[in-house]
A and B are shown apart, each in its own frame.
Chain A
Amino acid sequence: MLSVEVARFRARVLSALRAFFDERGYLEVDTPVLAAELIPEAHIEVFATELIDPQEPEAGAERYLVPSPEVWMKRLLARGYGNIYCLGKVFRNSESRSRMHRPEFTMLEWYTVEADAYSQEALAGELLACLCDRLCGPVPGAEGCRAVGAPVERLTVAESFARYARIEGFRFGEPGGLRRAAAQLGLRVGPQETDEDLFQRILLTHVEPRLPTDRPVILADYPSLVPTLARVRGATCERWELYLAGMEIANCYTEERDPARLTEFLTHESERKRDARVPHPPAESLLEFAAAPECSGVALGVDRLVMALLSLRDIAGVIHFP
Chain B
Amino acid sequence: MIKAGQISKGHCLMWKDEPYLVADREFVNPGKGAAFVRVKLKNIRTGRVLQETIRTNDSVEEADVFDRDAQYLYADDAHYYFMDAETYDQFAVPREGLEDRVYYMKEGDTYRITMWETNPIDVIVPLKTVLEVTEAEEAIRGDTVTGATKPVKTETGLEVKVPLFIKRGDRILVNTESGEYVERVNE
Interface residue ranges, A against B (CB under 8 Å): 1, 3-5, 41, 43, 92, 94-96, 98-101, 186-188, 190, 196-197, 200-201, 203-206, 208-209, 226, 228, 241, 248, 251, 299, 314
What are 13 A-B pairs at a CB distance below 8 A?
A3-B147, A5-B147, A95-B29, A98-B26, A188-B16, A200-B33, A200-B53, A203-B30, A204-B28, A204-B36, A205-B38, A205-B52, A248-B31
Q: Complex formed: what's the CA distance from A113 to B77 in Å?
A: 62
> Are the C-beta atoms of A95 and B27 separated by less than 8 Å?
yes
Q: Complex formed: what's the CA distance from A308 to B31 in Å?
A: 17
> Are the C-beta atoms of A4 and B30 separated by less than 8 Å?
no
| Interface bracket on B | 20 to 34
B34 at the interface (CB under 8 A from A): yes
Contacts of A206 in B (CB 8 A): 51
> Are the C-beta atoms of A99 and B53 separated by less than 8 Å?
no
Set B28, B31, B58: member contacting A241, Cβ < 8 A:
B31
Shortest distance from the beta carbon of B46 to any chain A beta carbon, whole Å: 14
> Are the C-beta atoms of A205 and B53 separated by less than 8 Å?
yes
Q: Which residue of A lies closest to B25 (CB)?
A: A98
> Are the C-beta atoms of B29 and A200 separated by less than 8 Å?
no
Q: Complex formed: what's the CA distance from A3 to B147 in Å?
A: 6
Q: Which residue of B lies closest to A98 (CB)?
A: B27
Q: Which 7 A-B pairs have the closest CB atoms?
A: A3-B147, A96-B27, A98-B27, A205-B53, A204-B53, A201-B53, A251-B31
B141 at the interface (CB under 8 A from A): no
Q: Known contacts A43-B34, A204-B30; can you find 5 more A-B pairs with CB under 8 A?
A: A43-B35, A95-B27, A100-B26, A228-B32, A299-B31
Shortest distance from the beta carbon of A191 to any chain B beta carbon, whole Å: 12
B146 at the interface (CB under 8 A from A): yes
Shortest distance from the beta carbon of A182 to any chain B beta carbon, whole Å: 11
Shortest distance from the beta carbon of A89 to any chain B beta carbon, whole Å: 16
Q: Complex formed: what's the CA distance from A206 to B51 in Å?
A: 8
Q: Which residue of B lies closest to A4 (CB)?
A: B146
Q: Complex formed: what's the CA distance from A57 to B56 in Å?
A: 39
Q: Complex formed: what's the CA distance from A96 to B55 in Å?
A: 13
Shortest distance from the beta carbon of A91 to any chain B beta carbon, whole Å: 13
A188-B51 contact in complex given A5-B147, A95-B35, A241-B31, C-beta closer than 8 Å: no
Shortest distance from the beta carbon of B176 to any chain A beta carbon, whole Å: 16
Q: Which residue of A lies closest to B28 (CB)?
A: A204
> Are the C-beta atoms of B15 and A188 separated by less than 8 Å?
yes
Q: Which residue of B lies closest to A208 (CB)?
A: B28
> Are the C-beta atoms of B146 and A226 separated by less than 8 Å?
no
Q: Complex formed: what's the CA distance from A228 to B33 in Å?
A: 9
> Are the C-beta atoms of A200 and B51 separated by less than 8 Å?
no
Q: Which residue of A lies closest to B36 (CB)?
A: A204
Max chain A CB contacts within 10 Å: which of B16, B54, B146, B178?
B54
> Are the C-beta atoms of A197 and B30 separated by less than 8 Å?
no
Contact with A along B9-53 (1 / 0, CB 8 A): 000000110000000001111111111101000000000001111
